[in-house]
Amino acid sequence: MGRYSNPDIVARLRRVLSGQGRDRVSHRPVPSLRQKQTRLTDSQRSELVERYLAGESSNALAAEFGIDRRTATAIIKRAGAQTRYRVALTDAQIDAARELYETGHSLVTVGEKLDVSAGTILNLLRQAGVQTRAVGTNQWSELAPAPHAG
């Protein structure tokens, strides 16, 4: 038998039945249940798209139809419907983010103050036409002393 071949099941069974050896207990006493696959009919998919276009959220529809939210979004996109995105910040909040960022706050700090991620702040500032600092720089870069030559 090769290194990666299956063990001889018959020999193992004989050994266990004769009492000569104990079989190892499975590390998984209860087998895993297979994930339930929900397949929507054409009419269900049409209903999902119609209700989404009428204003219901894809998350709520996914929960009601028993599917994952990504599956619901994929069905909506395949139907050719435009997907909606949650508005992350109001115009006033974007202006506040711009002001904080331009006064030297980091993207992370601005994001924490407005309860969104730093990536969201970066995207919103870029969309607003704000020139962003290079990666690895911050408001203190120009004030930092030059490295000591040794």
- Full-model pTM: 0.43
Is the predicted pLDDT of residue 17 greater than 70, yes or no?
Answer: yes
Burial 14-49 (b: 16+ CB within 10 A, else e): eeeeeeeeeeeeeeeeeeeeeeeeeebeeeebeebb
Residue 5's pLDDT band, with cuts at 50, 70 and 90, is low
At 141, is the pLDDT very low, low, confident or very high (cuts 50, 70, 90)? Answer: very low
pLDDT at 49 over 90: yes
What are the helix (H) ranges across the chain? 9-18, 42-53, 58-65, 69-78, 91-102, 107-114, 118-127
Of 88, 90, 85, 142, give the one whose Cα is nearest residue 118.
88
Residue-averaged pLDDT of the chain: 81
Q: Which two three-digit tokens encode residue 108?
A: 């992370």
Q: What mean pLDDT comes out for the span 78-94?
A: 85
More confident residue, 6 or 82: 82
**How does pLDDT run across 99-131, given as a tens digit for each residue?**
999 998 999 999 999 888 888 899 999 999 998
57 vs 85, higher pLDDT: 57
pLDDT above 60: residue 52: yes
Whether residue 86 has pLDDT greater than 90: no
